[in-house]
């Protein structure tokens, strides 16, 4: 894979799981990485320490991606320290406890869409303002982290999460077409059952193990396996790839 020397990359939700794996791998490929976090500064700082120990460049940056003022301040800090972003991984996201739709509250739905959808759109907007040749930029790549839930629906568990990720799929397609002539590629990955802490946050710490029998490959995936696809999509090796929705789900 081509080395990308010194180009700035923002990974939202970069302190754990897929985000952390992506930040570490991208740094090994030469990206200068901004590791975003909302509250867990210790986890983000540990990712930064790991990257620096391997000779890479990284910074941690706090922001709740659902808050416009915080997103704009985050990009300004990255501008000042690393330069204009040329890569964005929209990874920050949440689930909630399992429930049927007729048991869900509006407050839950607003949180789900504010973070998973509006947060990704806010970060993409600020990235486009820096990457687009229309705005004096040099181009770049955006990778949205969707989910296999967007096509499976997650009935009886996370229909609202699945709907939010369906919105991310549509956003990926539309934005990719909108900025393709401005030097920006926009793609999404749709992970399936991946061993990360997000399942525990939704009250199902054993979800991957319990559902692995549904996966044709017979196992859950690892965060590093998703990171490999994300970093490829960011790289020059994927120079003719845009508007793709890449399933990383073991065949599920």
With beta carbons less than 8 A apart as the criterion, state whether 90 and 18 touch: no
With beta carbons less than 8 A apart as the criterion, state whether 191 and 198 touch: no
Question: Residue 198 and residue 18: Cα distance in Å, rounded?
Answer: 10
The dihedral formed by the CA atoms of 67, 69, 74 and 77, expressed in degrees to the nearest 10:
-170
**Residue with tokens 């040329």, as numbered in its chain:** 86
- Concerning whether 158 is annotated as a catalytic residue, the answer is no
With beta carbons less than 8 A apart as the criterion, state whether 35 and 15 touch: yes
* Distance (Å) of CA 239 to CA 67, 139, 176, 243: 32, 11, 13, 12
- Report which of 173, 177, 79, 167 is spatially closest to residue 131, judged by C-alpha positions: 79
**Residue with tokens 């077409």, as numbered in its chain:** 177
Question: Residue 173 and residue 228: Cα distance in Å, rounded?
Answer: 21
- Phi, then psi, of 43 in degrees rounded to 5: -65, -45
Catalytic residue among 37, 158, 161, 240: 161
- Report which of 149, 150, 143 is spatially closest to residue 86, judged by C-alpha positions: 143
- As annotated, the active-site residues are 161
């Amino acid at each position: 894979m081509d080395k990308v020397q010194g180009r700035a990359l923002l990974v939202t939700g970069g302190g754990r799981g897929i985000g952390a794996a992506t930040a570490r791998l991208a740094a090994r490929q030469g990206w200068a990485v901004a590791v975003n976090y909302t509250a867990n500064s210790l986890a983000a700082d540990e990712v930064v320490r790991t990257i620096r120990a391997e000779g890479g460049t990284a910074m941690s940056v706090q922001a709740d991606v659902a808050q416009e003022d915080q997103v704009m301040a985050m990009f300004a800090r990255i501008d000042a320290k690393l330069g204009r972003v040329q890569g964005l991984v929209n990874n920050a996201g949440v689930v909630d406890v399992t429930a049927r739709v007729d048991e869900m509250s509006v407050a839950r739905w607003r949180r789900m869409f504010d973070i998973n959808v509006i947060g990704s759109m806010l970060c993409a907007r600020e990235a486009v303002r820096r990457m687009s040749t229309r705005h004096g930029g040099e181009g770049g790549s955006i990778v949205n982290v969707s989910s296999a839930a967007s096509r499976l629906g997650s009935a009886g568990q996370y229909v609202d999460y699945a709907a939010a990720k369906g919105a991310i799929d549509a956003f990926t397609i539309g934005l990719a077409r909108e900025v393709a002539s401005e030097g920006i590629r926009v793609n999404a990955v749709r992970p399936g059952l991946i061993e990360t802490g997000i399942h525990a946050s939704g009250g199902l710490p054993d979800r991957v193990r319990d559902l692995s029998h549904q996966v044709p490959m017979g196992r859950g995936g690892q965060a590093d396996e998703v990171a490999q696809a994300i970093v490829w999509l960011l790289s020059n090796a994927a120079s003719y790839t845009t508007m793709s929705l890449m399933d990383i789900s073991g065949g599920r």
